[in-house]
Amino acid sequence: MKTVTRLQAGFLLAIGMLALNIVLPLATTRWVGSAERQLERHEHTARELTDLLSSLKDGETGQRGFALTGRDDYLTPLYQGYGDVDKDMARFRVTLAGDELFDDLQLLASLIAEQRAFFARVIELRRSDGLAAASELVGTGKGKQLMDAIRLRLGEMQGVVEQRVLLAKQEIDWRGWAGMAMLGLITLLDLLVIALLFHFTFRLLREGREARLAQNLLSEQLSLGMQRVELRNHQISLLSRMAGALHSVNEFDECFGIISRFAGQLFPQSDGCLHLYHPSRDVLEEAGRWGGWEAGSVELFEPDDCWAIRRGQSHLVLDVDKDLVCPHLHERHLARNGSLCVPLMAQGEPLGVMTLCGGGTDLELAEAFAEQVSLGVANLSLRESLRQQSVMDALTGLHNRRFLDETLRRELLRAGRKQSPVIVVLLDVDHFKRFNDTFGHEAGDLVLRHLALEMKRHVRSSDLACRYGGEEFALVMPEISLEDAIDRCEALRLGVTRLQIRYGGQPLGPIAISLGLACFPADGESADALLHAADSALYQAKRAGRNQLCLYQGMRGQHSITAEP
């Protein structure tokens, strides 16, 4: 019934698409036609502006000829030009009404009127006083100034119109391409609707045929059904136990061990392997295996070497001579009897792939198993990411105060058992407030980030560098002598003084740090005592002039190592 409903909906959709095929070309033609008509209007305006300038030039030529010769036949082009100009201006007042060029047209009209008045004075003076008087008036340059002003105004108007012509042509091109794109899209939708109709039609026929076969095989299915239910219940129980175990793990090695153990029970007839994406996302690496899968046989391969990853769905190979075999399995003799690759997906993101080799693989069980594995790996990754975020300082990339408190207590317990020293150093930036007040808080943040990088450069892999709070940082150095710790602190202090930091194109000036050092167990046997001792030493370093390392000496006082000159 559901397929029949979909088929009916598909026919209704086909009718709608047919109507759209008729309406869309008509609408597109009208849409493009409106742009073409707009282009014609702009081109017509451009031609009329050119004709207007030509008429004005004819009039100027006639006036100049009459002024030189005094012959009345030179006035014919002048008066004819007057008539053409008046007609053109009348048309412009109608076509440009409400347009932004109308103000320019009014200015042009005033210039033309002023030019005509000047021409009239020249003609009258030529007739009354002769060539010399007319030449003297023309020699003032008034006529040339007016003509230049008219040309300039017409040029500006022509520029605006030409810009509009260009924009109109672009609009026509854009609408044409848009129309073609919409027609192409409609064509694709037509093909999709036709494909859906074929799909649901053949599906309906197939379902009917399958229903008739089901009636004939009902008795056999009932007898086999109980066995399958029992097997499925066992498989579901294993999946549930695996999911519960994966929910409780905290380490990836433990997680992969659990997956391999349960996979061997769920797929006893198949050898398998689990591959996950490397953090670089360019290769997949082996994470677990079971059955007869040889260690390291397919340790690494690229994502394109697996059809399941490329297609984003399970890839089953029953006949290696006919079906597509994944390239990463070409050398696997176990894949000769068939194989199944199931992608591991979590919220649409690929995590890796599970590969099973051997016959009789249950695709549904494999996909359910892959789903549980995906959820377990994704949840563990999420918990690990959240744990990292909870113990990392976002600004500097160092561990935060919370991680320091947890780690320092562990280090002190380990050092107490081994009878080894632990050095705790507190340090901060001297006159840090100056950077914030002078250059802004972003400059202060930049100083803290550079200091964090310098700390990472000077500490060992076994040391811990943390942001203690504000501009204050902490170092925990286990299993190190006091002399080596002093050398490392001095190297860090000198490295900081050599920093050349620029913000907004200007240098921030010299940077210095003060450090306070305390040693376990001499200066304290608890984390709080050591931090308090290091803080006291840091305070003494500040009081002693800053830019130096001060060692905590308890009741015997502090010892300072001052800055080198």
| pLDDT at 373 (0 to 100) | 83
| pLDDT at 2 (0 to 100) | 65
Q: By CB neighbour count within 10 A (0-12 exposed, 13-18 middle, 19+ buried), where does 355 fall?
A: buried
| pLDDT at 430 (0 to 100) | 92
| CA distances in angstroms from 321 to 330, 337, 338, 401, listed in the order given | 12, 10, 10, 61
Model's pTM, two decimal places? Answer: 0.44
For the sheet containing 422-429, what is the strand order? 464-469, 472-478, 422-429, 513-520, 549-551, 559-561
| pLDDT at 284 (0 to 100) | 84
Cα torsion for 376, 380, 383, 387, to the nearest 10°? Answer: 170
* Euclidean distance between CA atoms 26 and 169, whole angstroms: 21
Compute how many other C-beta atoms are within 10 angstroms of the C-beta atom of residue 20: 15
The pairs formed by 194-197 with CB atoms below 8 angstroms and a separation of 24 or more are 194/14, 196/10, 196/13, 197/7, 197/10, 197/11, 197/14
Cα torsion angle, 490, 492, 493, 499, sign: positive
User: pLDDT tens across 301-324, in order?
Assistant: 888 888 888 888 888 888 777 888
* Euclidean distance between CA atoms 135 and 121, whole angstroms: 12
Locate 486 and state its tokens: 């002093």
What single DSSP character describes residue 95?
H
Relative to beta strand 513-520, strand 549-551 is parallel
Using an 8 Å Cβ cutoff, are 344 and 353 in contact? yes
| CA distances in angstroms from 515 to 46, 427, 455, listed in the order given | 79, 4, 12
Locate 24 and state its tokens: 């869309």
| pLDDT at 331 (0 to 100) | 66
Find the helix or strand (DSSP H, E) in which 67 lies: helix 2-69
In the chain, what are the domain boundaries? 2-191, 251-390, 401-561
Which residue intervals of 217-362 are DSSP H helices? 218-248, 252-266, 307-311
Place of tokens 């056999």: 220
| pLDDT at 413 (0 to 100) | 93
Q: What is the 3-state secondary structure (H, E, C) of 253-264?
A: HHHHHHHHHHHH
Place of tokens 């379902």: 207
- Given a cut of 70, the residues of the chain with pLDDT beneath it are 1-4, 6-7, 295-299, 331-335, 359-360, 384-385, 388-389, 554-565
| pLDDT at 562 (0 to 100) | 45
346 backbone φψ class: left, alpha, beta (φ>0; ψ -120 to 50): beta
Place of tokens 């007898």: 223
Question: DSSP for 170-228?
Answer: HHHHHHHHHHHHHHHHHHHHHHHHHHHHHHHHHHHHHHHHHHHHHHHTHHHHHHHHHHH
For the chain, give the longest Cα–Cα distance.
131
* Euclidean distance between CA atoms 354 and 331, whole angstroms: 17
Mutual angle of helices 252-266 and 363-391, in 10-degree steps:
170
What single DSSP character describes residue 464?
E
Using an 8 Å Cβ cutoff, are 246 and 255 in contact? yes
Amino acid at 253: D
Locate 118 and state its tokens: 């000047």
* Euclidean distance between CA atoms 274 and 374, whole angstroms: 11
Contacts of 402 (CB under 8 A, 6+ apart): 390, 391
Does the structural domain 251-390 have CATH classification 3.40.50.2300? no
| pLDDT at 528 (0 to 100) | 92
CA 193-195-200 angle, to 5 degrees, is: 95
Q: Which fold has domain 401-561?
A: Alpha-Beta Plaits (3.30.70)
* Euclidean distance between CA atoms 383 and 434, whole angstroms: 40
Contacts of 543 (CB under 8 A, 6+ apart): none
Q: What are phi and psi of 56, to 5 degrees?
A: -65, -40
